[in-house]
Structures are given as structure tokens and as C-alpha cells.
Structure 1
């Protein structure tokens, strides 16, 4: 499940991911982010990932073809996660974006929000 939240006139987007990501949900989130980037320009993303159980193969392809080009337009990303492997994968994300990226544990959500808004 993907929950997407943005506030008008704010460059910050919050995305919550839980369970398995479907292609339909991912496409919806990408379209909303595309609109926010066009509206606000430089966009910052706080992504919360908890109890992640996978991604549909079709959604993985969608992420590679539609999500990665969008990631290049993000200026700062905070990833709040409950799994150590997600924190470790942040090194790979640097190949797909020029954004400043920082990982946080789930109990550091408020620190992540402060960092993304700084």
C-alpha cells in the first residue's frame, strides 16, 4: 500500500509504504509526484517504509521507467524504515538521483521531518 500526502504550496511530499507495492498504486503516486514537481519545482520527499513485503514485477518496471527519471528532479530525500537492508540500499539510490539522501530508523520520524524541512 502507498499513501501519498502533499500540501498545497509546500515543496515537501510524504509517502508511506506498507506491505506489497502494486503497479496501480505506484503509477498513481508517480503521477501525483509529477504534478507536485511541476507545481512546486524543487521537491523534497520523506518516505516511510514499514512492514515492506515486496513489489509486483510490473511495478518494479514502472519504477525503473517512470520513477527514476522523476527521482532526478528531487532535491532532498529522507527514508524512514524499519528494515536494515533498506538503509543499506540507500547507497544504490545515489546512482539514480542527485538528491541529498539520508536514512532514519522508524523511531526517528520527527528528526526526519525536521531534516527534510531544513
Structure 2
């Protein structure tokens, strides 16, 4: 499930992720990506993961397609989580993109919000 968080930064997609993300969840994110890049901005992300279990198979596929199409449109990414595999996923994302990617433990989410807002 995705619960979007309102922010003051117009090129930031901020959301709380929980349970499993499905294809419809990812299509919603994709629409928001287009809203930002259509204004000529790079897209920054803040994802706070609590009780997050990953993706359904169709959700994972939708995420890969979206990232492949927009990888050069991404700016900074803050991943905030509670599990080691989430930290690993953030490091893998950093390896495959030219974006600045940082992982923060859930207890450090305020620090993550400051970092992504700059």
C-alpha cells in the first residue's frame, strides 16, 4: 500500500510504503513522475517503509518498467526503513542509477526528511 505524504517541494514524491505494492500502486507513482517531469524537473523520492513486504510480481514488473523509462529523470532518493534487505535494496538502487541515494534507519527519518528537502 502507498500512502502519499504532502510536501512543500514540488519535485518530491513522498510516501509511506507498507504491506505489498501492486501494479496499481506503481501506476499511481508513474503518473506522479510524469506530472513532475512534464514541468521540467528531476524527480526526488522519499520512501518511508514500515511493515513493508515488497512487491507483488506484477507490481515488481511495473516498477522495473517505470524505472527503465525514467532512470535519467530521477534526482535524490531517500529510503527510510527497518530491515536489512531494505538497506540492501537502496544500495542496489544507488549502484544502478546516477541519482544520489541514501538509506536511513526508521529512527532517523527526520534526518532523511531534512536531507531530501535540500
Question: Same fold, TM exceeding 0.5?
Answer: yes
Please name the residue that 1:33 is paired with. 33
Alpha-carbon distance change, 117 to 9 in structure 1, aligned in 2, over 3 angstroms: closer
Alpha-carbon distance between aligned partners in 1 of 2:8 and 2:108, rounded to the nearest angstrom: 25
Counterpart secondary structure, 1:39:
coil
Aligned to 1:99: 99
Which aligned pairs between 1:11-50 and structure 2 lie closer than 5 A?
11-39=11-39, 41-50=41-50
Shift of 1:114: 0.6
Report the Cα offset of residue 4 of structure 1: 2.5
Aligned alpha-carbon RMSD (Å): 1.9
TM-score, normalising length: structure 1: 0.87
The aligned residue for residue 2 of structure 2 is 2
Say which SS state the counterpart of residue 72 (structure 1) adopts: helix
Deviation at 1:45, TM superposition (A): 1.1
Whether contact under 8 Å (1:15, 1:47) holds in the other structure is yes
Q: Does 1:65 align with 2:31?
A: no
In 2, Cα distance between equivalents of 1:14 and 1:103: 14
What are structure 2's unaligned runs of at least 5 residues?
none
**Which structure 1 residue ranges, 5 or more long, are not aligned?**
none
Contact 1:49 1:79 in 2 (8 A): yes
